[in-house]
Amino acid sequence: MKVLGIESSCDETAAAVVENGYKLLSNSISSSVDLHAVYGGVVPEIASRSHLGVITPTIKEALNDANCQWSDIDAIAVTYGPGLSGSLLIGIMTARTLAIAKHKPLIPVNHVHSHVYAAMITESPLKNYSFPQSQPQFPILSLIVSGGHTQLVLMTDHKNYKVLGKTADDAVGEAFDKVAKILGLPYPGGPSISKAAQSGNPEAFTLPQSKMSSPYDFSFSGLKTAVLRAVQELCGKPYDFPSSRLAELLNESQKADIAASFQKTAVQTLASKLFKAFEEFKPRSVVVAGGVAANGYLRKTLTSIITAPLFIPDIKLCTDNAAMVASLGFYLPLDAGRPDSAYHLQPVPSLAM
């Protein structure tokens, strides 16, 4: 069964064809990240307009790269939430139109759930991807870390799962983005922080890890504020000094030390909660997915502490893509949405997992 996946929840317009949930036949992504970089974050209106301009060519490219005609496609899977409502709407309306016009079933997919399915892809004729030799086995403990979400989920099968904990405020990727902004590093902040941290001393600043009443919940806004206070003190400025003017007072070595100290603290928080859940629930596999799973320091740290098979997808499948959507689409029953969802599916911007 070949599923065409369509993803447009944030600033990436993506389409991909995946066969039987594990074989990646194509993976097309068009990102509007450069348009948002000047604003230091995603501007929803710009994202929607950009999706509108590129979604049709992106889908065509995905079909071409997969050597597929419409007659080869068995179903269309589309992200219907969570995400930006205008962005989701473009993907959903495109998918609905194609499902009706081409007589294909439409499978609504939860974006956060789908991040885990990047780890289900094990094979491809495409070059420059690395894949695990086998798929993760249930029960799977998943850590989903992105710009919008930070969740620990215990999955007993493709449809049944329990959210063990989530963030009470900022997602971890959002914290990377905000700290990068304080340091004057380019958006998106994750890769910038990770690069700056390479030459920094992670012990230079002692930053706090949040304490939550539930052991598996997260909070990153305090860490971000602690970075802001540390920078204000380092620059000898009061707490009401505008954060946008701090970066110009820092030299490269100070920026590197702050980036490394922040990254270490954020990764330690993720690693300690994942490890606690790993010890308590004894899963057969652990999956770490989402944009922040691209972080090299996180990957290295988790590899050293998790003793069960650990799956962290290829970096190109960690950040938003449609391959994960097509893969999850295969594992959901064809009636996962209402049978008439091609006529009625709507965005659910705050869809929970």
Write out the residues near Zn ion by the rule CB under 5 A. Answer: 146, 320
Q: Measured from the CB of residue 171, what is the shortest distance to ligand KG4 in angstroms?
A: 7
Closest approach of Cβ 244 to Zn ion, in Å?
27
Q: Which one of Zn ion, ligand KG4, none is in contact with 188 (Cβ closer than 5 to 8 A by kind)?
A: ligand KG4
Question: Based on CB atoms, which residue is closest to ligand KG4, 19 or 174?
Answer: 174
Query: What tokens does 109 get?
Result: 């997919």
Of 147 and 337, nearer to ligand KG4 (C-beta) is 147
Cα–Cα dist 68/2, whole Å: 9
d(CA 177, CA 270): 17
- Taking the C-alpha atoms of residue 43 and residue 280, their distance in angstroms, rounded to an integer, is 40
Q: How far is the CB of 181 from ligand KG4 (least distance, A)?
A: 11
Closest to ligand KG4 by CB, 17 or 292: 292
Q: What is the sign, positive or negative, of the torsion defined by CA atoms of 44, 45, 46, 52?
A: positive
CB of 209 to ligand KG4, least distance (A): 17
Distance of alpha carbon 75 from alpha carbon 333, whole angstroms = 11
Identity of the residue, 182 or 293, whose beta carbon is nearer to Zn ion in the bound complex: 293
Using CB under 6 A, list all residues that contact ligand KG4: 10, 146-148, 173-174, 176-177, 188-191, 194, 290-292, 294-295, 319-320
Residue number, nearest CB to Zn ion:
146
Tokens of 312: 């962290």
The β-bridge relationship of strands 75-81 and 2-7 is parallel
CB of 341 to Zn ion, least distance (A): 22
Nearer to ligand KG4, 19 or 320 (CB): 320
Question: Which partner, ligand KG4, Zn ion, none, binds residue 292 by CB below 5 to 8 Å per kind?
Answer: ligand KG4
Q: CB of 320: closest distance to ligand KG4 in angstroms?
A: 4
Q: Which does 165 bind (CB under 5 to 8 A by kind): ligand KG4, Zn ion, none?
A: none
Closer of 41 and 222 to Zn ion (Cβ): 41
∠341-164-276 over CA atoms, to 5°?
Answer: 145
3-state helix, strand, coil in the chain (%, to 5): 45, 20, 35
Choose among Zn ion, ligand KG4, none what residue 319 binds, the Cβ cut-off being 5 to 8 Å by kind.
ligand KG4
Cα 22 to Cα 111, 176, 192, distances in angstroms: 18, 31, 31
Of these partners, ligand KG4, Zn ion, none, which one is at the site of residue 191 (CB under 5 to 8 Å by kind)?
ligand KG4
Give the separation between CA 43 and CA 334, rounded to whole angstroms: 34
8 A C-beta contact, residue 347 and residue 151: no
Select from ligand KG4, Zn ion, none the partner in contact with residue 173, using the beta carbon and a kind-dependent cut-off of 5 to 8 Å.
ligand KG4
Beta strands in the chain (DSSP E): 2-7, 12-19, 23-31, 75-81, 106-110, 140-145, 150-155, 161-166, 285-289, 310-311
For residue 273, the minimal CB distance to ligand KG4 (Å) is: 17
Question: Which of ligand KG4, Zn ion, none sits in contact with 200, Cβ below 5 to 8 A by type?
Answer: none
